[in-house]
Amino acid sequence: MDLFDSALGSPATGEPDPRAPLAVRMRPRSLDEFTGQGHVLAAGSPLRRLIEPAQDTAGRAMPSSVILWGPAGSGKTTLAYLVARGSGRHFRELSAVSAGVKDIRAVLDQARRSLATGSETVLFIDEVHRFSKSQQDALLPAVENRLVTLVAATTENPSFSVISPLLSRSLVLTLEPLGDQGIGELVDRAVADPRGLAGTVSLTAPARAALVRLAGGDARRALTVLEAAAGTAASGRGLVEAGRQPAASGEGPAVIDLPEIERAIDVAVVQYDREGDQHYDVTSAFIKSIRGSDVDAGLHYLARMIAAGEDPRFIARRLIILAAEDIGMADPSALQTAVAVAQAVQLIGMPEGRIPLAEAVIHLATAPKSNATSTAVDQALADVRAGRAGPVPAHLRDAHYPGAERLGHGQGYQYAHDSPHAVAPQVYAPSGLADAVYYRPSDRGFERQVGERLDWIRSVLRPDHPDEPEERD
């Protein structure tokens, strides 16, 4: 008897075991109850046709193997169950953490016997990335011969964790974390649904907002915390078990407020609204702390945002902006670090993403600071917007089309690489801007070297109008 036999009954007709965890009891029984992932469940999509084969009247071939790649709590196991339930197939589950080649072969032998009697099997493998090469190899004949419909789930990029032969025979679908609206809908349904808490508890608005935020897009986490908080609230009302006994006569449902949420997760609920003042205040303090080179304050505000469930991609984007705006050429590697961290967070997700985010905060906070780059481009933009944008000098214009020579385009142009040090003294700026100086390097970090070279370059390019370098700060 597998998970679904015990917790939800058979995929075709079973009812959930009342002793099962709330997240299992509330597992969607049909696509109508499923929340999110609309991009892979659109009408006519391969996954939808697997779940609702009777709706596919075109007779199109179904995929024999599907790999669902997405974060925890995004619905991978539920979708595998719906594939089995929707088509009446047998459902078998293996966990890559505990199953070996012997277990795989036993399931495949059972599937072969079932197929002989006309019954197909859906084989769900959780955390398939943990399977060794030999274990994945054992699946290949069954997938190739359609002995089973394989639905594999992974939180890691399958391109790096699944062998090429299995990958080439599989349809890879990427699942996204659920948004706040989706998590909120699941929580509200679990509170009211007879399979869930059956209205024995109610959530205050602050508690609901905190629960949704702390879930971080993970439906299972949201329902697990809700169940624990409901137990705390119900015990305070003398209920033996939330959702199992009705409230006392004349009393309303037990109330779940912030203290119950805090006790359920054993941490203080961070007062942080991703769309309110706290979001902007904490983000502002985060950026200003790093700009001010206070690495410890920067790490504090980073931790505050992470604990509050802030989107790590938002944090990474802010770090990229800061690296360019407040550090710039004083340490060009800061921008490289920030971009690399954004890619790392996208690849590995949370909670591991907290480590590269912290690395970026430390690098950016301790780096020398300069806003010369942002100041330079803003001053150049101000000139352009003020109408100071003369014609391009004729010798710099495109000379690669018929008639350009007749117009004098390109005549007198000096190829930089033919000049000493690849610096050709000629006019580059439009008329009226020959003396414009936008970029004024600071005397900090790598920008000191840039400034020394730039002074020399400008003396070569503008011998008649030498730039008088301002005192660098």
Question: Does 337 fall in a domain?
Answer: yes
Nearest of 223, 264, 260 to residue 21 by alpha carbon? 223
Domain boundary among 174, 200, 219: 174
Quote the domain boundaries for residue 347.
277-366
Question: Does 375 fall in a domain?
Answer: no
56 and 164 co-located in one domain: yes
Question: Does 378 fall in a domain?
Answer: no
Omega into 18 within 30° of 0, i.e. cis?
no
SS3 state of residue 410: coil
102 and 228 co-located in one domain: no
**Tens of pLDDT along the chain (473 residues)?**
344 444 444 444 456 677 788 888 888 888 888 888 888 888 888 888 888 765 655 555 566 789 999 888 888 888 888 887 776 778 888 888 888 888 888 989 998 998 888 888 888 898 888 888 888 888 888 888 888 888 898 888 888 889 999 998 888 999 888 888 889 999 999 999 988 888 888 999 988 988 888 787 888 888 988 988 888 887 765 444 444 444 444 567 888 888 888 777 765 555 555 555 567 788 889 999 999 999 999 999 999 888 877 889 999 999 999 999 999 999 999 999 999 999 999 888 888 999 999 999 999 999 999 999 999 999 889 888 888 888 878 776 777 777 767 777 777 787 888 888 888 787 778 877 878 888 888 888 888 888 888 888 888 888 776 555 444 44
151 and 232 co-located in one domain: no
355 and 406 co-located in one domain: no
Q: Domain count of the chain?
A: 4
Q: Beta strand 201-203 with 90-95: parallel, antiparallel or unpaired?
A: unpaired
189 and 170 co-located in one domain: no
94 and 128 co-located in one domain: yes
127 and 237 co-located in one domain: no
Domain boundary among 151, 174, 197: 174
Place of tokens 């400034």: 451
In this structure, what CATH number is given to the domain that contains residue 84?
3.40.50.300
Question: Does 381 fall in a domain?
Answer: no
13 and 80 co-located in one domain: yes
193 and 167 co-located in one domain: no
253 and 340 co-located in one domain: no
Report pTM.
0.55
Q: How far apart are CA 198 and CA 200, in angstroms?
A: 6
22 and 108 co-located in one domain: yes
Question: Does 471 fall in a domain?
Answer: no
406 and 430 co-located in one domain: yes
